[in-house]
């Protein structure tokens, strides 16, 4: 009728797309419509390479939110962070105006070696932060880091569950075992998920044959189960899984299965709570609908999905800030679970909770005092990154001769005061006000970040985490627990009186 009777010419395909998107918004937070470019962008982080700036993003209420910064990519190198809102691209305002994902992708993507300037709004920073990003070929690796923490403890950080993630995990585990690994810390903090089968394959490495990993069920989808095989490569030895509010979907499946089968200890903060299963429904024109058809459930029957109200998507995406406001991020006892959400683990009968996300066995609060405004601005303006890169560029060969490996660099190298003097000069050039009191508060962490960035440039991506994990509270608690057999055993049996940091 609009096409036939409306006063002006209309583009019916655009109207149809708008109607579909609006209709799906009324269902749940994860049902969505994707145009051709969005379909391509969705698949790339899981299975291929692309040339661009190395982020994944969502357009929410006409604002581009950076959801993930690809490890080793151009955006990470200059200091872009998840949660940033990109306001300008090459002096073109993109916030507050109607743009679809394809329009944004066209502005951010481009041939390797070309540059794009962005201005971002970061929570806690009043002014826009400016970044110049050199586009590059974006390698999609799932493992950010893999190294031996001590003689018996290995560490693997997994950033996503892609097509090749289980193979990468097996290779990393094999290499660590060759170095003497008997216990493993698996870091899933900030891991937003990925492919369901990959999550099952990785959980399979920890659990004995025939054990339920996850099941899905929906009104029009009968129960489907994923179970383990006899192919587990790490069924013995102590296991700690690190999680936080950014751990979602496939990460929650792995953590939930390990927790329900009392196979290891989950350390950190309550996970995101993404337990809705989307089925991809391709449309004839190359676009796609990702429609929620079922829910994920852990082996004990816990629903992973956090509560939501249909049609209230913005409220759903404010959950992180709501957690901060209600004190959950600082105090485990701020989280209240009704008796109806209590479940018992399948071996030791420990109490675990449903109702959204995976509640860790050992809670670690967020440190809201760790970063000052000066620190945020130094990072946001790219000063910390630029300083680290410049120092390595000037002294690479000399440094490698003095510090031939990351262990030596970690133990012996100290940030010289001359670098701090250069940092002040760079801040002055950026018209950034220097605050000595704030610098003293953040000095230890700033120097550690510079050192970690230098290590990554000198050695490899794992070197960054070898150093930065020293100030990572979740990692430190995980390492303490895995190294203390008595505490580990008490937590696994649910008899420890120490449930949080």
pLDDT, tens digit, 9 for 90 and up, residues 288-333: 999 999 999 999 999 989 888 776 677 777 777 777 777 777 877 6
**Contact in structure between 231 and 251 (CB atoms under 8 Å):** no
Predicted confidence at residue 95, as pLDDT, reads 83
Task: Please state, for a pLDDT cut of 90, what percent of the chain lies above it.
Answer: 61
Residue with tokens 């018992």: 344
Q: Does 320 lie in the same domain as 350?
A: yes
Structure-derived torsion over alpha carbons of residues 420, 421, 426, 427, reported in degrees to the nearest 10: 70
In a domain, 338, yes or no: yes
**Which is catalytic among the residues 71, 159, 247, 249?**
249
Last residue of some domain: 315, 333, 360? 360
pLDDT, tens digit, 9 for 90 and up, residues 390-416: 888 788 889 999 999 999 999 999 999
Q: Does 68 lie in the same domain as 100?
A: yes
Q: Does 201 lie in the same domain as 329?
A: yes
Strand 288-297, strand 92-93: pairing: unpaired
Q: Does 173 lie in the same domain as 119?
A: no
Write down the mean pLDDT value for the chain: 89
Tell me which residue of 412, 392, 394 sits closest to 402, measured CA to CA. 412
Gap between the Cα atoms of 221 and 48, Å rounded: 30
Q: Does 252 lie in the same domain as 339?
A: yes
Q: Does 395 lie in the same domain as 321?
A: no
Last residue of some domain: 331, 360, 389? 360
Q: Does 355 lie in the same domain as 254?
A: yes
Q: Does 336 lie in the same domain as 200?
A: yes
Token pair recorded at residue 392: 């390595």
Query: 277: domain CATH number?
Result: 3.90.226.10
Point out the least confidently predicted range of 40-54, 130-144, 161-175, 216-230: 40-54
Last residue of some domain: 309, 327, 360? 360
Please report the sign of the dihedral spanned by the C-alpha atoms of residue 338, residue 344, residue 350, residue 353.
negative
Gap between the Cα atoms of 355 and 372, Å rounded: 34
pLDDT, tens digit, 9 for 90 and up, residues 346-356: 999 999 988 78
In a domain, 489, yes or no: no
Predicted confidence at residue 367, as pLDDT, reads 80
Q: Does 44 lie in the same domain as 90?
A: yes
Predicted confidence at residue 227, as pLDDT, reads 97
Q: Does 117 lie in the same domain as 32?
A: yes
In a domain, 393, yes or no: yes
Predicted confidence at residue 82, as pLDDT, reads 66
Q: Does 379 lie in the same domain as 331?
A: no
Decide if pLDDT at 150 tops 50.
Answer: yes
Average pLDDT over every residue of 485-500: 80
Gap between the Cα atoms of 215 and 231, Å rounded: 20
Q: Does 315 lie in the same domain as 427?
A: no
**Which is catalytic among the residues 84, 204, 260, 457?**
260
In a domain, 221, yes or no: yes
Token pair recorded at residue 72: 């080793």
In angstroms, the Cα distances linking 43 to 31, 34, 50, 55, 327 are 16, 11, 11, 13, 36
In a domain, 240, yes or no: yes
Annotated active-site residue 13? The verdict is no
In a domain, 52, yes or no: yes
pLDDT, tens digit, 9 for 90 and up, residues 55-92: 877 665 577 878 667 777 899 889 887 668 899 999 88
**Which is catalytic among the residues 85, 119, 211, 274?**
274
Gap between the Cα atoms of 182 and 483, Å rounded: 11
Q: Which domain holds residue 111?
A: 26-138
How much is the pTM?
0.80
Annotated active-site residue 367? The verdict is no
Count of CB atoms within 10 A of residue 281's CB?
Answer: 12
Annotated active-site residue 260? The verdict is yes
Average pLDDT over every residue of 421-446: 93
In a domain, 495, yes or no: no
Cα-to-chain-centroid distance, residue 370: 19
Average pLDDT over every residue of 139-146: 85
How many folded domains does the chain comprise?
A: 3
In a domain, 496, yes or no: no
Query: 123: domain CATH number?
Result: 2.30.42.10
């Amino acid at each position: 009728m609009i096409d036939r009777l409306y006063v002006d010419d209309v583009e019916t395909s655009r109207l149809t797309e708008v109607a579909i998107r609006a209709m799906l918004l009324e269902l749940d937070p994860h049902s969505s419509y994707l145009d051709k470019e969005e379909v391509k962008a969705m698949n790339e982080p899981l299975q291929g390479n692309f040339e661009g700036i190395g982020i994944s993003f969502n357009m929410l209420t006409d604002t581009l939110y950076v959801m993930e910064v690809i490890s080793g990519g151009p955006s990470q190198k200059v200091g872009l962070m998840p949660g940033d809102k990109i306001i300008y691209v090459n002096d073109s305002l993109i916030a507050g105006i109607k743009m679809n994902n394809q329009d944004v992708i066209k502005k951010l993507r481009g041939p390797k070696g070309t540059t794009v300037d962005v201005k971002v709004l970061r929570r806690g920073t009043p002014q826009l932060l400016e970044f110049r990003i050199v586009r590059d070929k974006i390698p999609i690796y799932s493992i950010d880091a893999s190294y031996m923490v001590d003689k018996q403890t290995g560490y693997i950080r997994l950033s996503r569950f892609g097509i090749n993630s289980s193979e990468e995990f097996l290779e990393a585990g094999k290499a660590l075992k060759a170095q003497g690994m008997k216990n493993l810390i698996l870091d899933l903090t900030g891991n937003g998920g990925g492919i369901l089968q990959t999550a099952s394959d990785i959980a399979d490495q920890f659990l004995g044959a025939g054990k339920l990993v996850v099941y899905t069920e929906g009104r029009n989808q009968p129960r489907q189960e994923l179970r383990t095989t006899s192919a587990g490569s790490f069924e013995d030895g102590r296991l700690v899984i690190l999680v936080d509010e950014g751990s979602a979907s496939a990460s929650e499946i792995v953590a939930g299965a390990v927790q329900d089968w009392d196979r290891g200890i989950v350390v950190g903060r309550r996970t995101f709570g993404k337990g809705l299963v989307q089925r991809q429904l391709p449309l004839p024109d190359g676009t796609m609908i990702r429609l929620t058809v079922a829910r994920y459930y852990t082996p004990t029957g816990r629903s992973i999905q956090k509560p939501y109200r249909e049609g209230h998507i913005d409220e759903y995406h404010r959950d992180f800030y709501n957690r901060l406001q209600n004190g959950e991020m600082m105090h485990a006892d701020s989280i209240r679970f009704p008796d109806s959400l209590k479940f018992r683990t399948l071996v030791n009968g420990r109490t675990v909770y449903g109702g959204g996300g995976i509640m860790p066995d050992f809670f670690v609060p967020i440190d809201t005092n760790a970063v000052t405004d000066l620190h945020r601005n130094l990072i946001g303006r790219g000063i910390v990154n630029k300083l680290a890169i410049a120092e390595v560029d000037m002294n690479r060969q000399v440094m490698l001769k003095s510090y031939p490996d990351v262990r030596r660099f970690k133990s012996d190298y100290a940030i010289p005061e001359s670098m701090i003097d250069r940092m002040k000069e760079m801040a002055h050039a950026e018209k950034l006000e220097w605050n000595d009191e704030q610098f003293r508060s953040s000095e230890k962490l700033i120097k550690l970040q510079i050192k970690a960035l230098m290590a990554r440039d000198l050695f490899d991506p794992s070197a960054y985490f070898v150093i930065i994990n020293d100030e990572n509270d979740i990692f430190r608690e995980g390492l303490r627990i895995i190294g203390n057999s008595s505490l580990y055993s008490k937590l696994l049996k649910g008899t420890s009186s120490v449930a949080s940091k």
